[in-house]
Amino acid sequence: MQPGQVISRWNLRYALSTAVLAVVLASPIQAQTYRVIYAFTGGGDGASPTSLAIDRHGNLYGTTQQGGASGHGTAFALSQRNGAWVVKPLHNFTSDEVNPNSLVVAPDGRLYGTTKGGTGNAGSVFRLTPPATFCSNILCLWNETVLHVFTGSPDGNAPYGPVNFDAAGNVYGTTANGGTDDSCFSGCGTIFEITPSNGGWTENIIFDFLAIGTGYAPTCGLVFDGNGNLYGTASGGGAGYGTVYELTRSGSSWSQTVLYNFHGQNDGGFPYAGLLLDGGNLYGAAAGINVDGGPPSTAFELSPNNGNWDFQVLSVIPAISGPFATPTMDAAGNLYDTTAVAGPDWSGTVFKLTPSNGSWIYTGLYAFGLCDTNNGCDPTSGVVIDAAGNLYGTAQSGGNLADCGGNGCGVVWEITP
């Protein structure tokens, strides 16, 4: 992998298919109640779902990379009515904002996300706001505001991960490419801040990643601690296999500290996923490429200790390539995530990690089958959890096999404990 180059999880599955023939994945799957709650058609609802978020009422929101009125993807909502799930299109992306990557629910109920293409072909950050007046029509679309359009270098390029917000409402995120270091493939990546200004929005690059030392190609979002420090991962660089870092503000500038360098051995490598902060500890996952001596897929924890950080592998995940999404924690402290290339058919899995007497127990909850099934395949998002403990996520393909060229247009799924 060239410095700064991001491996697509979907291309990775097929690129590894020959190499994994001799690999046996010992991944016990615990019986759970899995069901598809919505199968996309490739029409106005979209195709190839890529993200999922949940609000405090249990409504689901997500994006699709294809389909919609212009074929460039959609934003949608799923809500329960009389025991059934009903989809509502919220926005159709156009040639100005192509292929949305992520979506999050802001504290004020509005939706923020990123796209990977559009004007300048470097991606954008957008906001969706409900109509100002009540609308009973299911086709009422939300109002879009484009907060920033990236231009490449020295600006950012390819904002894959979700955005986050500080207490003042400023927006923060990462781009996998762009920046000022031209030794990387299309730039080594950036961290950006977007602030409201005179009725519009102003972008500021607060950190440039470098090919040497800092890590490069961040593909995830960022998490704040109570003191306003930012934490994230870089998928490459450092000791060669990615880093975990902290960004600390001093006045109007930010400084980076690398908290951990992955070595591509038992610790794993290529942390595409973001971090979860709980009780001062950071939880994350390294995707790995577990063939031909490559690093395994791991779930890990970083704990503060007298000014330093202690790294611990919680579990080696049975996968050729593991989690690309940030793990989720339930009220009992269990972690959940999805894998990209795992299971008997290499189509991905959903798993759970349970703390037990100082260690963690891995449980496979569901293994996706071949992409010619109605249950979906290739999970593209992490896991979100409702108040009852039900799990939700997306799969990029499968579903109604008559749609999208016979491969299905993807699904939203539910797992009931």
Q: What is the 3-state secondary structure (H, E, C) of 336-365?
A: EEEECECCCCCCCEEEEEEEECCEEEEEEE
pLDDT at residue 98, rounded to an integer? 82
For 357-385, write each residue's pLDDT tens digit. 999 999 999 999 988 889 999 998 999 99
Is 295 in contact with 269 (CB distance < 8 Å)? yes
Is 338 in contact with 317 (CB distance < 8 Å)? no
Cα 286 from Cα 97, distance rounded (Å): 30
For 269-302, write each residue's pLDDT tens digit. 999 999 999 999 999 999 999 898 899 999 999 9
Domains and CATH numbers, the chain: 30-416 (2.120.10.30)
Nearest to 101 by CA among 382, 407, 302: 382
Cα 205 from Cα 193, distance rounded (Å): 6
pLDDT at residue 21, rounded to an integer? 38
Cα–chain center distance at 4: 18
Look at the block and give the residue holding tokens 């990775």.
12
Tens-digit pLDDT string for the chain (417 aa): 555 555 544 445 444 544 443 343 444 455 469 999 999 999 999 999 999 999 999 999 999 999 998 899 999 999 999 889 999 999 999 887 888 999 999 999 999 999 988 778 899 999 999 988 776 665 689 999 999 999 998 899 999 999 999 999 999 999 999 999 888 888 999 999 999 988 899 999 999 998 888 999 999 999 999 999 999 999 999 999 999 999 999 888 999 999 999 999 999 999 999 999 999 999 999 999 989 889 999 999 999 999 999 999 999 999 999 999 999 999 999 999 999 999 999 999 999 999 999 999 999 999 999 888 899 999 989 999 999 999 999 999 999 888 888 889 999 999 998
